Structures are given as C-alpha cells and as structure tokens.
C-alpha cells in the first residue's frame, strides 16, 4: 500500500546546500521529494504516488543499491570504476554517500550516487561477499 503525504510529514533538511523539505519514509528522488514547500510537495508527491499505483508501479520495488552495483560492475570507464571502489568502501563503513560531495562526483555517476545518498547505510552493508569481492576487483582495474 502506498502512503500519501501531508504537509506536516515533511522534514526540513539541507539538500545540495539549500534548505528543502523531504519525506522521511521516501528514499527515492521523485516529484514532491524533496520539495521547496510542503504544501506543493505533498500535492506533487500524492499525484505521483496515485499515478504509480494506478499504473502498477508499486509491484516493482526499487533497489538503488543493487542497481548501483550492477552499473559499477558492468559499465566501463573510470567513473564506474571509482563508484565500485566507493561501494566497496561503504560496505566496510569507510565511506558514506553524501550530497555534500555532489560537486566532486563524475557527471556519469551523479544520479546513481545521489540515489545512494538517500539510502540507509545498512542497505549498503547487506551486499553479498561475492558482490563486495567483485566491486573490489573492479575498483583495482586500471
């Protein structure tokens, strides 16, 4: 069941250097999350949630961590090699994805890293041993 938002649900947080309102239960970036104003944010979020529910979008559970691991392992290039290293380090608790690092991120991986910034750190620690070993091997590639 999809939870709808009301303006009082929003929490004021710093997002990319400016104050924005976010929904504490919503880990994804979507219409209405984050928002500049809780009133308009709730309207946009609820419209999006209802559209997703009507189109069957709720059956597919988003997995930003799994998607990021797949991209890091399967996509060539330095940006994805660095992402693999950061994912492995996050698993070990040595790195945390944070929107404060936005300016330093490669343009190719900004959206993936932004999604990971909204994930709970425990999700990054749920990677399998095989995934972590593959990420470490990928990050060591020249």
Distance of CA 118 to the CA centre of its chain: 5
Determine the structural domain holding residue 111 and report its residue range: 64-140
Q: Which residues contact 135 (CB under 8 A, 6 or more apart)?
A: 69, 72, 73, 84, 85, 87, 88, 91, 127
The rounded distance, in Å, linking the Cα atoms of 72 and 78 is 10
Is 110 within the bounds of a domain?
yes
**Where do runs of H (alpha helix) occur along 3-128?**
38-54, 64-74, 78-91, 110-117, 121-124
- Residue 133 shares a structural domain with residue 79: yes
Percentage above 70 pLDDT, the chain: 93
In a domain, 1, yes or no: no
pTM above 0.95, yes or no: no
Give tens-digit pLDDT for 25-35: 887 778 888 88
Domain count, the chain: 2
The pLDDT confidence band at residue 59, using thresholds 50, 70 and 90, is: very low
49 and 87 share one domain: no
pLDDT in tens, 90-122: 999 999 999 888 889 998 999 899 989 988 888
pLDDT at 60: 52
């Amino acid at each position: 069941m999809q939870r709808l938002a009301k303006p009082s649900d929003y929490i004021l947080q710093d997002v990319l250097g400016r104050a924005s309102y976010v929904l504490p239960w919503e880990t994804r970036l979507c219409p209405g999350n984050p928002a500049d104003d809780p009133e308009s944010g709730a309207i946009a979020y609820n419209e999006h949630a209802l559209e997703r529910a009507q189109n069957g979008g709720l059956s597919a559970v988003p997995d930003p961590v799994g998607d990021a691991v797949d991209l890091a392992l399967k996509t060539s290039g330095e940006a994805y090699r660095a992402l693999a290293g950061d994912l492995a380090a996050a698993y070990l608790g040595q790195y945390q994805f944070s929107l404060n690092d936005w300016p330093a991120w490669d343009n190719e991986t900004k959206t993936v890293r932004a999604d990971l910034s909204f994930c709970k750190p425990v999700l990054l620690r749920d990677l399998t041993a095989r995934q972590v070993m593959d990420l470490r091997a990928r990050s060591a590639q020249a």
